Amino acid sequence: MVLISDIIKHKTKMEIPITFLGTSQAIPTKTRNHTAILLQYKNENILIDCGEGTQRQFRIAKINPCKLTRILITHWHGDHVLGLPGLFQTLALNKYKKTLHIYGPKKTKKFIQEITKIFLPISRLKIKVHEVEGKFLKTPDFEISALPLKHGCPCNGYVFKEKQKLRIDKNKLIKLKIKDKTKIAQLAKGKTIKINKKIIKPSQLTYKQKSRKIAFILDTKICSNINKLAKDSELLILEATYSKKESALAKKYGHLSTEQAAQIAKKAKAKQLILTHISQRYEYKEKSLLKEAKKIFPNTRIAEDFMKVEV
Amino acid sequence: MVLISDIIKHKTKMEIPITFLGTSQAIPTKTRNHTAILLQYKNENILIDCGEGTQRQFRIAKINPCKLTRILITHWHGDHVLGLPGLFQTLALNKYKKTLHIYGPKKTKKFIQEITKIFLPISRLKIKVHEVEGKFLKTPDFEISALPLKHGCPCNGYVFKEKQKLRIDKNKLIKLKIKDKTKIAQLAKGKTIKINKKIIKPSQLTYKQKSRKIAFILDTKICSNINKLAKDSELLILEATYSKKESALAKKYGHLSTEQAAQIAKKAKAKQLILTHISQRYEYKEKSLLKEAKKIFPNTRIAEDFMKVEV
């Protein structure tokens, strides 16, 4: 689809901001709150996981939580979900009017029912819960899919993928001196136009915009679906709960080590790797984790609370 | 009871540290987390309320939450209790071995059952729940009592009160040149002793130690029990959700204004007043709240997160 609005307003390609609202493992530290990541795309504000204290992280990041449109839950371990009741209460207090869509693995409906029954003036908040696997959301702009991971309880990894779009090359418009908005609109609709007796086909002016893929794998041990989720991602966000030295613990407790995470990124031909879900044992020692990963996959970063990256 | 150990080790009167772990009202701010206050007394570490994020506040304050012995819940509104599931999980992860006593108003048992059923590997944590009113805990050192307040749901105010003790006056011991530990121990047991043919009765050396009272009133509108709880307190911790100007809102939503809080402290002849449960609307404007209260009750402070006072 060619976007007329993009041509007329001369928009450039939009960045996709990802804000890390929490980056700790099970126990939070002075600098790291429990897991929560915000992906913003046009009018969509999608939260991936919602650990305890996430509503306050929104406040500190100066992002209004009422902008939220969807929440993707990876799994129902406390450190990934205990911020939900408080967030729901705050949305209700702030008269959130939209329907809040919550996606998660099996049993998500049961959990949401239980926590709202205890804590929420639920009648004041419209929540729609979806238990998902595979491609579960398609919009004109993007799609989101889920694949199960291995973590001792139902657990999803998620992929956000832009739809590939045909866009009009603004430089070519300028070169051909096409300024007439009606003509541009016709081109945008795929129609051939005539300017100064010259026939111009839409294919002469359009190009395929690169489709960006962002993968979220926040709690898992090694399994085949990791590679499917990670493959060719522009940004790969991976848990790395343990250092290379402690990879035996990673295996024992259903997690990844820094080394494993970097190998996944390399195999998947990801563009950039961000490690998160950092254990309290590495507080102020994150540089050594980074070093281990960079040896295998140089374009690696360690997530920090309130770090914002644009894809 | 006269404490021999105090005489022999020449201890002075112990301060009671109170640490404010969270001081916000319903919605947390950058500087204020949800309500939680820690009272430490000898081997007791008593938490009053446990809003979302309290376990992280413990970490930031560098206090090990495994030291906790008891939790007093004022009421079951989310901003006072949503930190419980995460705190329980962290205690379980850290192999907390004691029995954790939780006290609260009516329905506390039901709430604890429900939240532990959803989130906790409960078998790994021993919790004993008590629904309380009146004097519910007596130890050789202190007693704690609860009185119901008015807040639209079962809600308790709490009073911690030291027991009044007889202590030996060390200066008199020195004056009378009594150094013999066996003799001092006899005095401590209430026995008359003989030194250099001189008869000395315990009453000649003992005095009544002042009994300290600390009151916690964290969510309520004006009601008669407030005065009973606050009366003659050494430290009175009162909610002050609204400014004087917005006292109509305080009445409407079941809270106190700064002015009402200060009047309560004055009437109760409290020594010191600390206002907490500060609404987000007064972020960075707390000085004006303080001014309003100080006009009526000069020895007032506004609580801040991590503020520690010693009574």
Say how far residue A160 (Cα) sits from the centre of its chain: 6
pLDDT of residue A203: 81
Mean pLDDT of B236-264: 94
Confidence band of A123 (pLDDT split at 50, 70, 90): low
Element (H, E) at A123: none
What is the rounded average pLDDT of the residues B269-297? 95
pLDDT of residue B6: 53
A232 is an active site residue: no
- Other Cβ atoms closer than 10 A to A260: 23
pLDDT digits (tens, 9 = 90+) for B224-235: 999 999 999 999
Residue of B nearest to A111 (CA): B118
Closest by CA position to B25, among listed B224, B231, B204, B289: B289
Per the CB < 8 Å rule, is A27 touching B59?
A: yes
Instruction: Report chain B residues touching chain A, CB-CB < 8 A.
Output: 26-30, 33-34, 52-53, 55-56, 59-60, 78-79, 82-83, 85-86, 89-90, 93, 111, 114-115, 117-119
State whether A271 and A153 are in the same domain.
Answer: yes
User: Where does a domain end: B154, B182, B208?
Assistant: B208
Q: What is the DSSP string of B172-222?
A: HHHHTT---HHHHHHHHTT--EEETTEEE-GGGTEEEPPPPEEEEE-S-BS
- Do residues A99 and A227 share a domain? yes
Lowest mean pLDDT among A5-19, A188-202, B62-76, B229-243: A5-19
**Which of A9-18, A159-168, B21-30 shows the highest mean pLDDT?**
B21-30
**What residues in B contact A26, CB-CB < 8 Å?**
89-90, 93
In angstroms, the separation between the Cα of residue A95 and the nearest Cα of chain B is 13
Across the interface, do B85 and A90 touch by the CB < 8 Å criterion? no
Average pLDDT, chain B: 91
Name the 3-class secondary structure at B112: helix
Indicate whether B193 pLDDT > 60.
Answer: yes
Which CATH number belongs to the domain containing residue A140 in this structure? 3.60.15.10
Q: Find the catalytic residue in A49, A79, A219, A305.
A: A79
Q: Do B56 and A86 touch (CB under 8 A)?
A: no
Checking if the pLDDT of B192 tops 50, the result is yes
User: For residue range B111-158, what is the model confidence (pLDDT) as tens digits?
Assistant: 999 888 887 655 678 999 999 999 999 999 999 999 999 998 999 999
User: Structure tokens of B307?
Assistant: 């503020």
pLDDT confidence tier of residue A103, bands split at 50, 70 and 90: very high
Q: Same domain for B187 and B275? A: no
CA angle A186, A192, A193 (to 5 degrees): 70
- The answer to whether the CB atoms of A90 and B26 lie below 8 A apart is yes
Total tally of structural domains belonging to chain A:
2
Give yes or no: residues A16 and A153 share one domain: yes
Q: Give yes or no: residues A234 and A154 share one domain.
A: yes
Please report the beta strands in A42-192, taking only residues with DSSP state E, as ranges in sequence order.
Answer: 44-48, 70-72, 99-104, 126-131, 134-138, 142-148, 156-162, 166-168
The residues of B that are catalytic are 79
What confidence category does residue B221 fall into, taking pLDDT thresholds of 50, 70 and 90?
very high
Q: Are the beta carbons of B14 and B42 closer than 8 angstroms? A: yes
What does the pLDDT average to over B208-228? 93
pLDDT exceeds cutoff 50 at A10: no
> Cβ contact (<8 Å) for B27 and A93?
yes
Closest CA to B256 of B132, B105, B155, B160: B155
The answer on B231 and B180 residing in a single domain is: no
Quick one: pLDDT at residue A3? 53
Contact A52 B79 (CB under 8 A): no
CB < 8 Å to A56, chain B: 28-29, 33, 52-53
The DSSP bridge pattern shows strands A17-22 and A308-310 to be: antiparallel
The length of chain A, given as a count of residues? 311
Tell me, what's the ipTM? 0.87
Domain range for A181: 165-208
Say whether both A8 and A88 belong to one domain.
yes
Residues B143 and B278 placed together within one structural domain of the fold: yes
Average pLDDT for A195-201:
84
CA A241, A246, A250 angle in degrees (round to 5)? 50
Average pLDDT, stretch A17-33?
A: 96
Q: Which residues of A touch B30 (CB under 8 A)?
A: 59-60
**In the predicted model, is pLDDT for residue B276 greater than 80?**
yes
A39 and A176 both lie in a single domain: no
- The percent of residues above 90 in pLDDT, for chain B, comes to 71
Within this chain, do residues B72 and B150 fall inside the same structural domain, yes or no? Answer: yes
- CB spacing of B93 vs A119 below 8 angstroms: no
Indicate if the pLDDT at residue B62 is higher than 90: yes
Of B55, B86, B114, the CB nearest to A118: B114
Confidence (pLDDT) at B3: 53
Tokens of B224: 């008669």
Please answer yes or no on whether B90 and A115 come within 8 Å at the CB atom: no
pLDDT of residue B165: 77
Domain's final residue, options A182, A208, A234: A208
- pTM of the predicted model, to two decimals? 0.88
**Could you give the CA distance from residue A163 to residue A138 in angstroms, rounded to a whole number?**
9
Mean pLDDT of B290-296: 96
Does residue A302 register a pLDDT over 90? Answer: yes
Residue from B23, B27, B50 to probe the interface with A (highest A Cβ count within 10 Å):
B27
Q: Is the same domain home to B146 and B186?
A: no
3-state secondary structure of A56: helix
Phi and psi dihedrals of A84, rounded to 5? -65, -50
